[in-house]
A and B are shown apart, each in its own frame.
Chain A
Amino acid sequence: MAKVLMKGNEAIGAAAINAGCRYFFGYPITPQNEVPEYMSRELPKVGGVFVQAESEVAAINMVYGASGAGARVMTSSSSPGIALKQEGITYIAGAELPCVIVNIMRGGPGLGGIQPAQSDYNQSTRGGGNGDYKLLVYAPANLQEMVDMVQEAFDAADYYRNPVLVVGDGMIGQMMEPVEFKPYVSKYELAEKTWATDGTKGKRGPNIINSLFLDPAKLEDHNVKLQAKYKAIKENEARAELYNMDNAQVVIVAYGTTSRIAKNAIESLKKEGIEVGLIRPQTLWPFPDRAFETLPEACKGLLVVEMSMGQMIDDVKLATSCRLPVEFYGRSGGMIPEPDAIADKIKEMLGGVK
């Protein structure tokens, strides 16, 4: 199929429908409003259902219900809205149900602002809700990758029976780029949803969707089972892009749109004879630890660049066991890092004068 020029938020909607999503429940918030707008227009055309819920809490619980009934379902929001959904997300994780959640991040804390940010890294990867649970978290950097990851997210959610989070920021949600909807081939073998509460038809006992286990021994067993699943996700799904790593004196670690700004800094430093690499986590959880196992000989340190005050830095220190210095450069509140500022920080790390 030919390329089409789409806005990021619309591409998310189109990718979801392409992946078989037929139910969307959400509540408006900038900068992701084009996702529900697109779904409200397009889902009825394919026999799907769009509901603008009375709140984010209602929306995520509608997702819980639809997923329990075996549907392919999605919700989207932006930072404060995702914060409101956390209760539902931990219930869905506890009940082992598949769904896709999209967070087009804006500045925080609190209501924050509406401009791009990445300050929900900890919320995404550490579990914003209660209990020992994990979400598979994809972090695309361009619209084609967004489309591919949203489609894959539905399959991964079904395969692991786990909520999957796709994170972007206001920039990727609002920008336009060409995208291509290639015939999608699933990499997962998906089993029939025999657990779904879609009616016994008098032929089987009722299925129960539940996250309440009052017997401590049973709840512990449940947690052990969940951990085994998270271990499998960790082994199979961690992913990163490596860029310009040969002979890199410093390696930048950045995800999403920030990685693109970092690439501009890398290209401008290359012209000055300074080689800088990039590790771009494509999954935030599981974190791509393996990408940090063999860093270039010349590497003197790592620079984490985020649109936050520094949240991913902990994971980079863990992945490298702190064997190299890990520095940070970030902007927050909707301010966007500039390539020159990143380049200056790298020169400072290398001990050069500006």
Chain B
Amino acid sequence: MINEKVICAGFGGQGVMSMGQLMTYAGMLENKEVSWLPSYGPEMRGGTANCNVIVSEQMIGSPVITNDATAAIVMNLPSLDKFESHVEAGGMILVNSSLITKKVKREDVSAYYIPANEIANELGNPRIANMVMLGAYLELAKPVDTGSILEAFKKVFGESKAHLVPLNKEALERGAAFVKALRA
């Protein structure tokens, strides 16, 4: 039974909101129950931004994730500091190791260190680090199919951005391959 509660967090501009929206939209396309709750206010404008995403096969109660996140995807250090304690025991934390040198302190969660910015740079677009992280998360938790994410991409960003689908697909695949290799 899929009941994923994910916190996506990072600097404003790292694409954490859109990462969450893609997952939410993809879940809706797969007829799952979904909700997306953003932080709003001053932190959106350059500080730490985050969103709570729930993708579930059962009715969603609260859209707020409090200490029961199944996963946290953290793109910068303040996000790791803030959300490490919000993940439930047995959950996972995906760390953007390009920007975060610190390690996850907790031993009751699985930590994955992904050099998302380096991988994005290899793909020729530093702005795609969020999709690398998302790809890694999809591989680990499988809340939705990658195909649904790409379908959602066209809906969230519009047809004018459809030419970026292949690049985003590649980023998802690179993120997935990286954690697959970690696990092997």
Contacts and interface: CB of A to CB of B under 8 A. Distances in A.
Chain A bound to chain B: yes
Contacts of A114: 40-41
A5 B28 contact: yes
Contacts of B155: 5
B24 A257 contact: no
B61 A267 contact: yes
Contact of A174 (B24, B38, B60): B38
B40 A260 contact: no
Contacts of B35: 175-177
B83 interface: no
A171 B37 CA distance: 7
Number of contact residues on A: which range applies? 20 to 34
Given A3-B28, A5-B24, A5-B28, A175 B63 contact: yes
B178 interface: no
Contact of A176 (B24, B61, B64, B67): B24
A31 B39 CA distance: 11
B28 A171 contact: no
Contacts of B21: 5, 176
B36 interface: yes
Interface in A1-56: 3, 5, 30-31
Contacts of A286: none
B66 A260 contact: no
A325 interface: no
A311 B21 CA distance: 35
B14 to A, nearest CB: 19
Given A3-B28, A5-B24, A5-B28, A264 B62 contact: yes
A342 to B, nearest CB: 10
Contacts of B67: 338, 340
B28 A260 contact: no
Most buried by B among A31, A178, A257, A260: A178
Given A5-B34, A171-B37, A267-B61, 15 more contacts: A5-B28, A31-B40, A114-B40, A114-B41, A174-B37, A175-B35, A175-B36, A176-B35, A177-B36, A178-B28, A257-B62, A260-B60, A260-B61, A260-B62, A263-B62
